[in-house]
Chain A
Amino acid sequence: MNAEKSERALKHAALIVLVAAAIAFPKVFTNPAVTNYGVLAMIFVTVATAWNIFSGYSGYISLGHAVFYGSGAYALGIAARDWHVGGTTVFALLPLVAVVGAVIAVPVGLIALRVRRHTFIVITIAFFFIFQLMAFNFSFTGGSSGLNSPFLTWPASGYNTPFYYIALAFAIGAIAISWLVRRSRFGLQLRAIRDDEDRARGLGVRTMRVKLSAFILSGALTAMIGAVWFYYINQVAPQTGFDPLFDLTVVLMAFIGGYGSIAGPVLGALIIEPGTLWLNTQPQFSGGYLSEILLGGIFLLVVLFMPRGIIPTGGEWITRLRTRGRPAVVPAMAMDAASGAAASSGSGSATSGSESTTSVSSGGTR
């Protein structure tokens, strides 16, 4: 009991240290090239967490979250252009952007969530292309040249810093929402759907309503951070706002970190986004193909050797190290041994505030 309490205290302390480090980051590293990494990393922490709130918890893999990201960027751009909003007041439009994201999520979700697994994935891809092509073809979206963001009067020297704090605030907010959802009855229903949707419905979970709510929540968050990203990089075009690589990158972030957990997508985003940004600046990687091969190779290694992601698998390894020599908490079923062990001791790593990914599973549902 005492050990548990001190472990929790340790986790809280680690969390506070992490947040403090995140806040101090632009004070320590003032080089704009470095803070640029920070801003984009925070943006992707938010996106991966938002993705995880829907896909990670419900098990419906969305390969079309760029629909919300791009729509958020375009919504902000169009509203600012047509209503002649400029300067920092643009940020007051963010709630509107969230509404746009939510409104888009309703029909898309109602159609896509009727089907499962592969078909769902492909439908999200189809919606993604529909949105990208609409951005190309309509005149109010600026066609293939896209939109420019309103002008900001911030000094160029510290330009990145306010964006860093805005993105950090979104990241912390998204993680908090993710944590709240995971703890709640709603989150439990989502994970019940992930484990066995028909059984969940049989037990009285209103599956469509639960799935759709998570989809809307995730979409609204993604749209808002998409708008922030647009304002940060000053422009959006159909290929950058609705980018197929974006969809895949977000999924890979979540999977590498450990999808369905809270810390997993955060860790994945913090590894992948700065990593790819850095690789692309290296002269020997110019042209992009070497970094692509490297990225693909790393993904293969991770999926083959840490199939459930760094956080759960790493937690498992730590548990195994700690319990070596003495009997561990024996999991109920051999088949579910791995996840059981991780769940019983919590993930030992101090960076995570999460437990293992598959804790609602009643042990061998499939």
Chain B
Amino acid sequence: MAHQIYQAVADGILEGGVYALMAVGLTLIFGVLDIINIAQGVLVILGAYLSYSLSVHLHIDLFLGLLITVPAMFLIGVVIYWAFIRRLRGTERTSMTLLVTYAVALIVEGVLYKIYGANDVELTASYVTSSVHLLGFYLSYIYIYGFILAIVLIAALYALLYRTRFGRSVRATMQDETAARLVGIDVNRVAALTFGIGVAVTATGGMFYGATSGGFNPNSGYDLISRLLAIIILGGLGSIGGALAASVFMLLLESLVTIWSPNWAIVVFYAALVLVLVIRPTGFLGRKAVRAQ
């Protein structure tokens, strides 16, 4: 029993890393643009399908394929921003962007159905199925790689946000859009690039999701977006560190409850969100302003 718990802890932390890869994009987009991108779940699946096509048809290794899928997803993100989200202004922006991104999700999902069909597919590679025996635990290689990549990517995002000129303009836009505009920041450009980066990060998340979820189809995005939303709210909207912490916390919790009952594990996932928000409405690392209308 004790060993089972240790194993669950190890699994939960590693899976949390994979979810963090998907969640940071969402929380970054929220932080800068003040919108929730409902399409993020489907875009993760799109990233997974891109990796799938590359590995099945062109026999490109999953990790090498990221060099293609990440820029591709970046472009898709920028296009979505320029075509649809940029135009939305005014008091109803919150709900409007929600609808627009949902419509985008529907279209992407429809296109994926048309191309790939409704059957589950799975990303395969030698390191997906094999695992390493370490300190008495069986750890799957793909999770270890995923966790390492998550840490590296989040560190890179931090470096981008806190060590570059672009990052400074992003943070300025996060704090006060009007003031940022006044000091000469091209807010539209910052927002477009941020949206692109947020979507590009999901390409890696999608690759890991495709390899670890045990099969996905175009419809998988809905379940995913709900979990990601729970994670970023719990972590505090707009906080990248919070997204990482909340991913690990949630997946750890789910992994532990799974020992007792797999059926109730997901309920605990959402119940934890509700409970935390009752005590602390801004999430773990949320800014105070999140609560103001």
Q: Show the binding face of A for B, using Cβ within 8 Å.
A: 61, 111, 114-119, 121-123, 125-127, 129-130, 133-134, 136-137, 196-198, 244, 248, 251-252, 255, 259, 287-293, 295-297, 299-300, 303-304, 307-308, 365-366
Given contacts A122-B229, A122-B230, A196-B293, contact A114 B278 (CB under 8 A): yes
Q: Can you give 18 contacting A-B residue pairs, CB < 8 Å?
A: A118-B30, A119-B237, A119-B277, A122-B36, A122-B273, A123-B277, A129-B267, A130-B274, A133-B270, A196-B293, A244-B226, A252-B102, A289-B113, A290-B114, A293-B106, A297-B103, A303-B88, A366-B91
B273 contact from A114, A123, A134, A255, Cβ within 8 A: A123
Which residues from A are CB-within-8-Å of B109? 289, 292
Contact B267 A134 (CB under 8 A): yes
Q: Do A198 and B293 have beta carbons less than 8 Å apart?
A: yes
- Report the minimal beta-carbon distance from A77 to chain B, rounded to whole angstroms: 21
Q: Report B201-250 residues with CB < 8 Å from chain A CB.
A: 222, 226, 229-230, 233, 237
* Residue of B whose beta carbon sits closest to that of A197: B293
Are B278 and A111 in contact (CB-based, < 8 A)?
A: yes
B93-101, B122-130, B167-175: which one contacts chain A? Answer: B93-101
How many contacting A-B pairs (Cβ < 8 A)?
138
Q: Majority SS of interface residues in chain B? A: helix
- The residue in chain A whose Cβ has the minimal distance to the Cβ of B270 is A126
Once A116-B291, A288-B113, A296-B104 are accepted as A-B contacts, the answer to whether A244 and B222 lie under 8 Å apart by CB is yes
CB of A122 within 8 A of CB of B104, answer no
CB-CB under 8 A from A308, the residues of chain B are: 92
Chain A residues with CB below 8 A from B266, complex form: 129, 133
Report B240-292 residues with CB < 8 Å from chain A CB. 263-264, 266-267, 270-271, 273-274, 277-278, 281, 290-292
Is B233 touching A119 in the complex (CB atoms < 8 A)?
yes
Total number of B residues with any Cβ neighbor in A under 8 Å: 47
Counting CB contacts under 8 A, is B111 at the interface?
A: yes
What distance in Å separates the Cβ of A190 from its nearest Cβ neighbour in chain B?
14
Residues from chain A with Cβ under 8 Å of B230 in the complex: 122, 125-126
Residues of chain B contacted by A111 (CB below 8 angstroms): 274, 277-278
The CA-CA distance from A114 to B267 in the complex, in Å, is 21
Closest to B281 in A: A115
Of all chain A residues, the one with the shortest Cβ separation from B269 is: A129
* CB-CB contacts below 8 Å: B75-126 with A: 84, 87-88, 90-92, 94-96, 98-100, 102-107, 109-111, 113-114, 118
B277 touches A137 (CB 8 A): no
Which of A114, A248, A296 has the most CB atoms of chain B within a 10 A radius of its CB?
A296
Knowing A121-B36, A123-B274 are in contact, say whether A248-B87 is a contact too (CB < 8 A): no
- The minimal Cβ–Cβ distance linking A255 to chain B, given in whole angstroms, is 6
Whether A61 contacts B98 in the complex (CB less than 8 A), given A122-B229, A134-B267, A292-B109, comes out as yes
- Chain B residues near A197: list those with CB within 8 A: 293
Chain B nearest CB from A127 CB (Å) reads: 7
Write the nearest CB–CB distance from A343 to chain B, whole angstroms: 15
CB-CB nearest 10 A-B residue pairs = A296-B106, A289-B113, A292-B110, A293-B110, A296-B107, A299-B103, A126-B270, A289-B110, A296-B103, A122-B229
| Nearest Cβ on chain B to A178's Cβ, whole angstroms | 19
**CB-nearest residue of chain B relative to A198?**
B293
Nearest Cβ distance between residue B73 and chain A, in whole angstroms? 19
Known: A61-B95, A244-B222, A293-B106. A130 touches B111 (CB 8 A): no
